[in-house]
Amino acid sequence: MKSRILFSALAGLLLAGLTVLFAPASPANAHGNVTGPASRNYGCFERWGSKFQDPAMATEDPMCWQAWQANPNAMWNWNGLFRENVAGNHQGAIPDGQLCSGGRTESGRYNAMDTIGDWKATNVGNSFNVKLFDGARHGADYIRVYVSKPGFNPVTQAPKWSDLEQVSQIGNTPAAQWTQRADGVEIDVPVSAPGRSGRALVYTIWQASHSDQSYYFCSDVNFGGATTPPTTPPTTPPTTPPTTPPTTPPTTPAAGACSATYSTSSQWSGGFQGEVKVTVGSSAIKSWTVTLAYDSAPSVQQSWNSTVSASGNSLVAKNAAYNGALPAAGTTSFGYIGSGTATTPTVTCAAAV
Give yes or no: residues 93 and 217 share one domain.
Answer: yes
Give the mean pLDDT of the chain.
Answer: 83
The answer as to whether 193 is a domain residue is: yes
Give the number of C-alpha atoms closer than 13 A to the C-alpha of residue 60, restricted to the C-beta side.
10
When divided into structural domains, the chain yields a total of: 2
Q: How confident is the model at residue 254 (pLDDT cuts 50, 70, 90)?
A: low
Q: What CA–CA distances, in Å, run from 257 to 260, 337, 346, 348, 353?
A: 11, 27, 18, 11, 8
* Domain-ending residue, one of 167, 197, 223: 223
Which has more pLDDT, 172 or 27?
172
What are residue 95's phi and psi, to 5 degrees? Answer: -70, 155
Say whether pLDDT at 1 is over 50: no
Residue 241 pLDDT > 90: no
Pair (181, 266) in one structural domain? no
Tell me if 238 is assigned to some domain: no
Find out whether 273 and 264 touch, Cβ atoms under 8 Å: yes
The answer for residues whose C-beta is within 8 angstroms of residue 320's C-beta and 6 or more apart is 237, 305, 306, 307, 334
Q: Examine the pLDDT at 105 and tell me if it is beyond 90.
A: yes
User: Cβ contacts of residue 104 below 8 Å, gap of 6+?
Assistant: 98, 110, 111, 114
The CATH number for 309's domain is 2.60.40.290
261, 277 in Cβ contact below 8 A? yes
Say which residue, 85 or 23, is predicted with more confidence: 85
Asked if 116 and 180 sit in the same domain, the reply is yes
Q: Percentage of the chain with pLDDT > 70? A: 82
Does the predicted TM-score (pTM) go above 0.85? no
Domain that holds residue 101: 2-223
Highest-confidence segment of 13-17, 76-80, 289-293: 289-293
| pLDDT bucket at 327, cuts 50 / 70 / 90 | confident
**pLDDT number for residue 231:** 44
| CATH code (residue 136) | 2.70.50.50
Let me know if residue 334 belongs to a domain: yes
For residues 37 and 174, membership in a common domain is answered with yes
Domain membership flag for residue 165:
yes
Q: How confident is the model at residue 225, as a pLDDT? A: 60
Q: Are residues 151 and 279 in the same domain?
A: no
Residue 247 predicted with pLDDT over 90? no
Residue 160 has a pLDDT of 97
Same domain flag for 292 and 169? no
- Residue 231 is assigned to a structural domain of this protein: no
Residue 18: inside a domain, yes or no?
A: yes
**Residue 29, pLDDT score:** 38
- Is residue 252 one of the residues assigned to a domain? no
Mean pLDDT of 81-105: 95
Tell me: pLDDT of 62 over 60: yes
121-144 pLDDT, tens digit each: 999 999 999 999 998 888 999 999
Is the pLDDT reported for residue 66 higher than 70?
A: yes
pLDDT score recorded for residue 82: 93
Which pLDDT score is estimated for 246? 41
* Rounded average pLDDT over 6-14: 33
- Average pLDDT, stretch 87-106? 96
- Shared domain for 262 and 213, answered yes or no, is no
Lowest pLDDT segment from 238-247, 270-279, 281-290, 308-317 = 238-247
Q: Are residues 37 and 180 in the same domain?
A: yes
How many Å is the Cα radius of gyration of the chain? 20
Least confident of 174-183, 211-220, 252-261, 325-334: 252-261
Using 50, 70 and 90 to split pLDDT, how confident is the model at 215? Answer: very high
Is the preceding omega at residue 237 within 30 degrees of 0, hence cis? no
Task: Compute the average pLDDT of residues 315-322.
Answer: 87
> What sign results for the dihedral spanned by CA atoms 76, 79, 82, 84?
negative
Q: What average pLDDT does this structure show over 46-59?
A: 90
Which of these ranges, 8-17, 194-203, 322-331, has the smallest mean pLDDT?
8-17
Does residue 312 belong to any structural domain of this protein? Answer: yes
CB-CB contact of 209 with 12 (8 Å) = yes
Please check whether residues 179 and 269 belong to one and the same domain. Answer: no
- Please compute the mean of the pLDDT values over residues 262-269 and round it to a whole number: 77
Q: Are residues 155 and 52 in the same domain?
A: yes
Whether residue 96 sits in one domain with residue 163: yes
pLDDT band at 249 (very low <50, low <70, confident <90, very high): very low
In a shared domain, residues 196 and 101: yes
pLDDT value at 104 more than 60: yes
**What gap in Å lies between CA 234 and CA 117, rounded to an integer?**
27
Largest CA distance in the chain: 63
Provide the pLDDT for residue 6: 38
Query: What pLDDT is attached to residue 329?
Result: 87
